Amino acid sequence: MKNSVKVTRRAMLCGMAGICGLAATRSARAQFLAPQDGTVRDRLWIFTCAANSDFPAIGRRSVMTPAEGAFFFGVPNIIMVQSSTKEAPYGRLEPPFAQYTVALRPLKRVVWSVVGSGGFNSPVETEEVLALPKTTPNFAGVMLDDFFTGKADGKRAQLTIEELKSIRQRLKQSNPKFDIMATLYVKHLELPLQDYLEMIDVLTLWNGNSADLVNLDAHMEKVEKLAPRARKMLGCYVVSYKDKAGVPVDLMRHQCETGLRWLRQGRIEGIIFLGNTTMDLGFESVEWTRQWIARVGDQKL
């Protein structure tokens, strides 16, 4: 014989209140990717590629997607970068790109590459990217990754001056606040790039040599002299691709704390962490960085 249970209206309302309270708590937790202006977290970015596209470089399978990488690190801004020809068999972003942006709606800012990993670029895909503002409210600009070739003359960049000028004109017509961002490696600081740098809004400084991270301040001084009008961001590798190992934690701490100091000084406007395809492989530097972000993210600048 079944037991009879009498549910009073009061008990039912209390239960509903508890459920609603739980839902509200979950909703509030879900909003952590929408940080307050003026906090450290608001200035943090993740550099991402298609899941597993770094397999040729790392030699290990990664299943973390770009959106999952942002969620894992707790950062609100993302740079989506197309794979190189070598990486494409293991993972790439396939048009139409607008479908990918659905998972990115909780984020604050989305930047998409028109020049991707290894300098990959395609006029057809560029058209896809320039159409994203129509469907992507948090679209913030375009990325030129691996843009400079390292040559002092001849083909100095993956696009001609005229091609870059055309992209810039169309981007600014959509919204004058949209940015052109570009990767600048420390090894390229001595190259004659002034004509290109004048058309770039945000330079992101990267150093893949972990041992050389102790010289970050000297490198930033060179960037500031090279392109005084461009805004700057610090790009932080969490993994040394050369060694297929995590960046040593003491050096990871150095580049994070240096970036935070520059943020507080107003010398840079963001710190970028690379990237989702290395974050689920158990590197100590990744977990250290995740905890560092949790510790400093809500501090006021």
Q: Write a three-state SS string for the chain.
A: CCCCCCCCHHHHHHHHHHHHHHHHHHHHHHHHHCCCCCECHHHEEEEECCCCCCHHHHCCCCCCCHHHHHHHHCCCEEEECCCCCCCHHHCCCCCCHHHHHHHHCCCCEEEEEEECHHHCCCHHHHHHHHCHHHCCCCEEEEEECCCECCCCCCCCECCCHHHHHHHHHHHHHHCCCCEEEEEEEHHHCCCCCHHHHCCCCEEEEECCCHHHHHHHHHHHHHHHHHCCCCEEEEEEECEECCCCEECCHHHHHHHHHHHHHHHHHCCCCCEEEECHHHCCCCCHHHHHHHHHHHHHCCCEC
- Supply the range of the domain harboring residue 251: 38-296
**Quick one: tokens of 135?**
């469907």
10 part of a folded domain: no
Segment holding 112, helix H or strand E: strand 109-115
- Give the pLDDT of residue 35: 76
Determine the Cα–Cα distance for residues 82 and 94; give it in Å rounded to an integer: 9
What's the whole-model pTM score?
A: 0.89
What CATH number does the domain containing 113 carry? Answer: 3.20.20.80
213 part of a folded domain: yes
12 part of a folded domain: no
- Residue 255, SS3 per DSSP: helix
Number of independent structural domains in the chain: 1
301 part of a folded domain: no
- Residue 284, SS3 per DSSP: helix
- Give the pLDDT of residue 33: 57
**Quick one: tokens of 115?**
């020049």
29 part of a folded domain: no
Determine the Cα–Cα distance for residues 258 and 22; give it in Å rounded to an integer: 39
261 part of a folded domain: yes
100 part of a folded domain: yes
180 part of a folded domain: yes
Per-residue pLDDT of the chain in tens (301 residues, 90 and over written 9): 434 444 444 443 444 334 333 333 333 334 445 778 899 999 999 999 999 999 999 999 999 999 999 999 999 999 999 999 999 999 999 999 999 999 999 999 999 999 999 999 999 999 999 999 999 999 999 999 999 999 999 999 999 999 999 999 999 999 999 999 999 999 999 999 999 999 999 999 999 999 999 999 999 999 999 999 999 999 999 999 999 999 999 999 999 999 999 999 999 999 999 999 999 999 999 999 999 999 999 999 9
